[in-house]
Structure 1
Amino acid sequence: MSARTMRTIGALAAGALLLSGCGGGDGGDAAGSGGDWTIPSSDPEASITVVGHLDPVAEDMDDVVAAFEEEHPSVDVTYQQVPFDDLNSVLDSRITSKSGDPDVFWVDQPRVSALATRGYLEDLTDQFGDLTDGLQEATVENSSYDGKLWSLPIANSTQVLYYNKTLLEQAGLTPPSTDPDERITWQQLKEDAAAAKAAGATYGLLFGQPNRYYQLEPLPVSAGGGIGAEGEGNLTPAVVDEGWVDAMTYYGSLYADGVSPRGITAEQTDATFLEGGTAYMVQGNWLVPQLADSDVDWGAALNPVWEGGEPVTPNGSWSVGMNPFSQNKEAAAIFMKWLAVDGESGYATNRSFSELPANTAGLESYLTSDAFTGSEAGQQAAEVVELESTTTGVGRVATVGYVEFEDIMGRAFSDIANGSDPAAALESAQSQLETAWAQYQ
Structure 2
Amino acid sequence: MRGQDRTGSAHTRRRFLQMAGVSAAAAVAAACGSDTGRGGGGGGLSHWYHQYGEDGVEEAVRRYAAAYDRVEVSVQWTPGNYDTKLLSALQGGSPPDVFEYQTKADLVRAGTLAPLDDVIGDAKDDFSAASLASHTFEGSVYGIPQAVDTQFLVYRKSLLDDAGLEPPTSFEALVDAARSLTEGDRKGLFLGNNGGTDVLGPVPLWSNGLDYVTDDHKAGFDDPAAAEVFGGLHDLFESGALLLGAPTDWSDPSAFLQGLTAMQWTGLWTLPQIEEEFPGDYGVLPWPAFGGDGSASVPVGAFGAMAYADGPMVEEAKEYIKWLWIDQTEYQEDFNLGYGFHIPPRTSLAEKADELASGPAAEVVGFVDGLGRPSSPPEWTPAMDSAYKDALTNIIKSGKDPEGELKAAAGTVQGELDKIFG
TM-score range, shorter chain: 0.7 to 0.9
Pick the aligned partner of 1:64 from 60, 66, 72: 60
Letter in 2 for 1:117: R
Structure 1 residue 248: Cα displacement = 0.7
Residue 192 of structure 1: how far off its partner (Å): 1.4
Q: Distance in 2 between matches of 1:200 and 1:8?
A: 30
Matches of 1:126 and 1:385, distance apart in 2: 28
* 1:202 Cα deviation from its structure 2 partner: 4.8
Distance 1:18 1:76 in 2: 26
Residue 340 of structure 1 contacts residue 359 of structure 1 at CA under 8 Å; is this kept in 2?
no
Which stretch of structure 1 is more off in the superposition, 399-408 or 353-362? 399-408
Q: What is the distance in 1 between the residues matched to 2:298 and 2:58? A: 28
CA-CA distance at 1:342 after TM superposition: 3.3
Match of 1:180 in 2: none
By how many angstroms is 1:434 displaced?
3.1
Q: Tell me if the contact between 2:343 and 2:350 (Cα under 8 Å) persists in the aligned partners.
A: yes
Q: Deviations over 1:219-241 (max 9, x none)?
A: 223224x2132363x1x213121
Give the 5 Å matches for 1:171-320: 172-174=163-165, 176=167, 184-202=169-187, 204-206=189-191, 210-212=196-198, 215-224=200-209, 226-230=210-214, 232=216, 234=217, 236-262=218-244, 268-294=251-277, 298-303=281-286, 304-318=288-302, 319-320=304-305
TM-score, normalising length: structure 2: 0.76
**CA–CA distance in 1 between the matches of 2:274 and 2:152?**
13
Q: Deviations over 1:325-366 (max 9, x none)?
A: 445546644653455323546244234334321112221133
Q: Which residue of the partner structure matches residue 390 of structure 1?
A: 369
Structure 1 gap ranges (5+)? 1-6, 20-43, 177-182, 374-378
Contact 1:159/1:285 (8 A) holds in 2: yes
Contact 1:136/1:360 (<8 A) preserved: yes
User: For 1:76-95, what aligned pairs fall within 5 Å after superposition?
Assistant: 76-83=74-81, 87=83, 89-95=84-90
Within 2, Cα distance between the matches of 1:259 and 1:355? 30
* 2:25 counterpart SS class: coil
Contact 1:45 / 1:75 at 8 angstroms: preserved in 2? no
Which runs of 5 or more structure 2 residues have no equivalent in the other structure?
Answer: 1-8, 12-20, 27-41
Residues 1:119 and 2:104 are matched in the alignment: no
Matched to 2:75, the amino acid is V
Q: In structure 2, how many angstroms separate the alpha carbons of the residues matched to 1:439 and 1:45?
A: 37
Change (3 A) 1:268 1:203: farther
Aligned match of 1:34 = none
CA displacement at 1:78 relative to structure 2: 2.2
1:153-202, Cα deviation, whole Å (9 max, x unpaired): 12334443211345445x624351xxxxxx62111112212222224415
Q: Is residue 48 from structure 1 mapped to residue 46 from structure 2 by the alignment?
A: yes
For normalisation by structure 1, the TM-score amounts to 0.73
Mapping 1:322-341, distance limit 5 Å: 322-327=307-312, 329=314, 332-333=317-318, 336-337=321-322, 339-341=324-326
Counterpart check, 1:427 vs 2:407: yes
* 1:107 pairs with 2:101: yes
CA distance in 1 between partners of 2:156 and 2:91 (Å): 47
Structure 1 residues 50 and 399: CA distance shift in structure 2, 3 A: closer
Give the counterpart of 1:362 among 349, 353, 369: 349
Work out the CA distance in 2 between the residues paired with 1:153 and 1:244.
Answer: 31
Structure 1 residue 399: deviation in Å? 5.7
Contact 1:144 1:150 in 2 (8 A): yes
* CA shift digits 1:277-314 (9 cap, x unpaired): 22112333333233234467641233222254542313
Q: 1:413 corresponds to which residue? A: 392
User: Is contact 1:157–1:316 with CA below 8 Å preserved after alignment?
Assistant: yes
Alpha-carbon distance in structure 2 between the residues aligned to 1:144 and 1:114: 13
Q: Distance in 1 between matches of 2:404 and 2:56?
A: 42
CA RMSD of aligned residues (A): 3.6
Cα distance in 2 for residues equivalent to 1:393 and 1:103: 31
What secondary structure sits across from 1:247 in the alignment? helix
Distance 1:69 1:297 in 2: 40
Aligned-partner Cα distance in 2 for 1:435–1:56: 34
Identity level (%): 19
Amino acid paired to 2:306: G
- Residue 131 of structure 1 and its aligned partner are, at CA, apart by 4.4
The 8 Å contact of residues 341 and 359 in structure 1, kept in 2 or not, is answered as no
1:306-325: CA deviations, max 9, x gaps? 25454231344222212234
Find the partner of 2:73 among 63, 72, 75. Answer: 75
Secondary structure in structure 2 of the residue aligned to 1:228: coil
8 Å contact kept, 2:46–2:97: yes
Q: Does 1:147 align with 2:129?
A: no
Counterpart amino acid of 1:288?
L
Q: Secondary structure, in 3 states, of the residue corresponding to 1:18? A: coil
**For residues 206 and 143 of structure 2, what CA distance do their matches in structure 1 show?**
27
Amino acid at match of 1:416: I
